[in-house]
C-alpha cells in the first residue's frame, strides 16, 4: 500500500475540525498530521513540524480570524511552500469562488457536500488536479442567469478543441495561478501566456478566466 496522503487541517471551529478529522480518519489513504485553528497557527505549525510530517496538502476553512484561508495561501507562496490548498466554505457565491481562484486555491468546496465528495476531491488535488465541484458550478451559473448578466458563452456545445499547450495553460488557470506564475512555470513570457488565454477564451466562447474554468468543467476538460 502507498503512503497515505498527509493533510494539515485548518478550521477555527473546534467541533467542525474534530468532525472533519474523524471523517478523514476513516480513509486508509488519508491522514491528518496537523491541526490549526487559523492560518497564522498553521504557519507556526509548519515552521516547527518535522520533515517526515510535512503535509502533502492543506484543507482549510475559507473564513477564519487572524489569517483566513486566502491569506494562508498567499503566505505559503511568499514562503516558497508549494502546498496545494483546498478551501471549504459556506459561502455559495461567485465572489467567494473568484477570491479563491485568484488566491491560487487548488480546490473550492462547499461544506454541505457529501463526505465521499470531499475525500475524492482531496485525492484529485494530491494527484495534481483541481477540485472545483460541478454542483457549485451549477448554482453559480443559475445566479448569473437570474441576474441577467451576459455570460458570453457563445460557443457551440462542441467548441473548437484546444491545443495541448492551451489545455495546459487552462489547467494552470483553473489552479488559480496568475499569468505571471504560469509564464514562469512554462518558461514563456507573460505576453505569450496572455495570447494563449485570448485564444482559449475565443475558442470556448467565454470572456474571462472564471467563465473559462466553469465551461471547462462542463466539458470535462479539467
**Residue 206: predicted pLDDT:** 85
**Residue 200: predicted pLDDT:** 93
Percentages (nearest 5) of helix, strand, coil residues in the chain = 50, 15, 35
**Residue 59: predicted pLDDT:** 97
**Residue 101: predicted pLDDT:** 76
Query: Can you name the residues that pair with 39 across neighbouring β-strands?
Result: none
* Mean pLDDT of each 10-residue bin along the chain, 222 residues long: 90 93 95 96 94 94 90 89 90 71 84 87 89 54 48 53 89 78 88 93 85 76 72
* Edge-to-edge strands, sheet with 30-36: 30-36, 5-10, 57-61, 85-89, 107-110, 131-132
**Residue 194: predicted pLDDT:** 93
Question: Residues 129-167: pLDDT tens digits?
Answer: 888 754 444 544 554 455 444 444 444 456 778 998 998
- For all residues of the chain together, what is the average pLDDT? 83
**Residue 177: predicted pLDDT:** 73
**Residue 140: predicted pLDDT:** 46
**Residue 213: predicted pLDDT:** 78
Hey, how many other C-beta atoms are within 10 angstroms of the C-beta on 163? 13
**Residue 176: predicted pLDDT:** 66
Full-model pTM: 0.63
Domains along the sequence of the chain with CATH: 5-145 (3.40.50.2300), 153-219 (1.10.10.10)
**Residue 47: predicted pLDDT:** 92
Are residues 62 and 88 in contact, defined by beta-carbon separation less than 8 angstroms? yes
**Residue 151: predicted pLDDT:** 43
Beta strands in 172-213 (DSSP E): none
Amino acid at each position: 500500500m502507498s503512503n497515505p496522503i498527509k493533510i494539515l487541517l485548518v478550521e477555527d471551529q473546534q467541533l467542525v475540525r474534530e468532525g472533519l478529522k474523524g471523517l478523514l480518519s476513516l480513509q486508509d489513504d488519508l491522514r491528518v498530521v496537523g491541526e490549526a485553528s487559523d492560518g497564522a497557527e498553521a504557519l507556526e505549525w509548519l515552521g516547527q513540524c518535522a520533515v517526515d510530517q510535512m503535509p502533502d496538502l492543506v484543507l482549510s476553512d475559507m473564513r477564519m480570524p487572524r489569517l483566513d484561508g486566502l491569506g494562508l495561501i498567499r503566505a505559503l507562496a511568499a514562503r516558497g511552500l508549494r502546498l496545494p490548498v483546498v478551501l471549504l466554505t459556506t459561502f455559495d457565491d461567485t465572489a467567494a469562488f473568484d477570491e479563491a481562484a485568484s488566491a491560487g486555491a487548488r480546490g473550492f468546496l462547499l461544506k454541505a457536500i457529501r463526505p465521499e465528495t470531499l475525500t475524492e476531491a482531496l485525492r484529485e488535488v494530491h494527484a495534481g488536479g483541481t477540485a472545483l465541484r460541478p454542483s457549485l458550478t451549477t448554482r453559480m451559473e443559475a445566479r448569473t442567469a437570474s441576474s441577467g448578466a451576459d455570460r458570453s458563452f457563445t460557443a457551440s456545445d462542441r467548441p473548437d478543441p484546444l491545443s495541448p499547450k492551451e489545455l495546459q495553460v487552462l489547467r494552470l488557470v483553473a489552479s488559480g495561478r496568475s499569468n505571471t506564475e504560469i509564464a514562469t512555470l512554462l518558461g514563456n513570457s507573460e505576453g505569450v501566456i496572455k495570447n494563449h488565454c485570448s485564444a482559449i477564451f475565443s475558442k470556448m466562447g467565454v470572456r474571462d478566466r472564471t467563465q473559462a474554468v466553469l465551461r471547462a468543467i462542463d466539458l470535462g476538460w479539467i
